[in-house]
Structure 1
Amino acid sequence: MNDAWPIAIARGWHPVAYEKELRPGRPLGVRLMGTPIALFRTGAGPAALIDRCPHRNVPLSGGKVCGDALACPYHGWVFDASGRCLAVPGARDETGARATCVAVTRRHGLIWANLADEPLPFPDLPAEIADPALDGFWRPLAPRMARPLDALENHLDPMHPHFLHRHLVRGADSEVIARTIPI
């Protein structure tokens, strides 16, 4: 686990990809709190390993999905969803090498990951997220560099987006002027 983050954030579940980005046969490389992760689809759902082969430190996200396992692009070592090495081309026996497994789950169109050694159960999300009667969309935002407390403070400041991020909340053609009402 990354000691540079407050414990509640470091041990938390974080969305790392849209479920539709996880395609059969191809791993997806993502980053969570600076940690590279290789996501891949198995018959049981999404799986994730730290994006480094234990053999030559090559990104596993450049490899290919073989059934329910991920093959390294460099020498073809094959790892299952738990990180266990299943095959080493040209060798009769497994090496005992292990890739590092990352806890992942799929909820509401997103893939969520947790870097903790012993992840807490996935939390209950607000029922509105899964309500089909409500508009459901995920707006992709480019990653930003900010301290967690600064990011949280920005979320608690409802007026600044209208001035600083003019097109984030509404499109340019639907701008609404806020007026004060005398009391």
Structure 2
Amino acid sequence: MANTFTNKLQTIVEDFQITFGHPAETVPTLPTLERFTNRKGWGSIEEAVEQLYSISNTQEEFVKAVDKLHTYLDKAKEKQLQKPLITNKTDKIVALADGLGDELWFLLGDCVEAGIDIQPVIEIIKASNDSKLFVDDNGNKYAKQDENGKIMKSEFFFAPEERIKEEIQRQINNSLTK
């Protein structure tokens, strides 16, 4: 299947979505509210909390940071409740695209503020995700899911952290030689 998107990072994720049997639409489409809420919980929210933990110096500092996120979430909810509900499907997709673009802008800004070249990191994560695939007797790769739909890890799985650590060290070393 030819990739749908012009952004290399997005095509890497599209390949994953297709390989692992997750939705991969080729035209702007509204996901279900339940699926999108779950993805935000598994992704944006869980990852934000992990990131805060990674840069916290104490447990107390971490708890305060997470509590602050709760405050931002409540403020954002109240802000949205002041707006009229969007009822037109195209307008919903436009608002979703605007929000996703803004979220991606902030994520890439986080990478810039941290001085991390994220492309090689994404490629390492893709390789790690691909290592979850099982191989049948004919050499065909396939994904297995547990009863909750969570992707299971094959015997070929490798965690990405060590390779990411090597990449970050490479980026640090390259910056020292400039």
> One fold, TM greater than 0.5?
no
Structure 1 or 2, whichever has the larger Rg, is 1
More helix by share: 2
More strand by share: 1
TM-score range, shorter chain: under 0.3
* TM-score, normalised by the number of residues in structure 2: 0.23
- Indicate the structure whose relative CO is greater, using CA pairs within 8 Å and at least 6 residues apart: 2
